[in-house]
A = this chain, B = another copy of it.
Amino acid sequence: MRVLFITESGFEDTELLCPKYRLEEEGFQVDIAAPEWGEVKGKIGYTISANLSIDEAEPEAFDALFIPGGKAAEKLTMHESVIDFVKKFAELNRPMAAICHGPLVLAAAGILKGKRATCYYKVSDKLEEAGAIYENTPVVVDGKIVTSRQPSDIPKFMKEVIRVFKS
């Protein structure tokens, strides 16, 4: 099973690395795409390699999508190629997960309209503007979309992510 992470410099380090390790523990293959391939830096200080540019990623090639948080996610909402990718991926009706600022990318792609979701509390207004039903809880599952608020939610978040990604 292949999972695509979409990120950019400014990602919240543990929101990318801990879920990546967790999914790998479960036997999933994790690829990382950024607007341009190459090194991306976390806000705290880790550097990871994006092995794909978003332009070369094929939505059909991935079984699930994962969007970590940090300011990276806000930057991603301004990339047409990213929003386009997420819209196409959503049409495939495959599972998606996002944490912290990550749900803003799903919101920008218009796929949270009428859906229950959560995100970092400071950007909850943006989720509601996009038509989402915001809930201030560690993890929200609506159909195949799993969202979460912040790093301390990772234990509860990943439990649901694994469950939904496998179902």
Asked if A4 is an interface residue, CB under 8 A from chain B, the answer is: no
| Whole-angstrom CA separation of A18 from B21 in the bound complex | 8
Report, as a range, how many residues of chain A touch the other chain.
10 to 19
| Whole-angstrom CA separation of A154 from B21 in the bound complex | 6
A 10-27 contacts with B by CB, 8 A: 13-14, 17-18, 21-22, 24-25
Beyond A14-B17, A17-B18, A21-B22, 6 additional pairs, beta carbon < 8 A: A14-B14, A17-B151, A22-B22, A25-B154, A25-B158, A44-B45
Contacts of A44 in B (CB 8 A): 13, 44-46
Contacts of A159 in B (CB 8 A): 25
Give the Cβ gap from A22 to chain B, nearest Cβ, in Å: 6
Asked if A156 is an interface residue, CB under 8 A from chain B, the answer is: yes
Asked if A155 is an interface residue, CB under 8 A from chain B, the answer is: yes
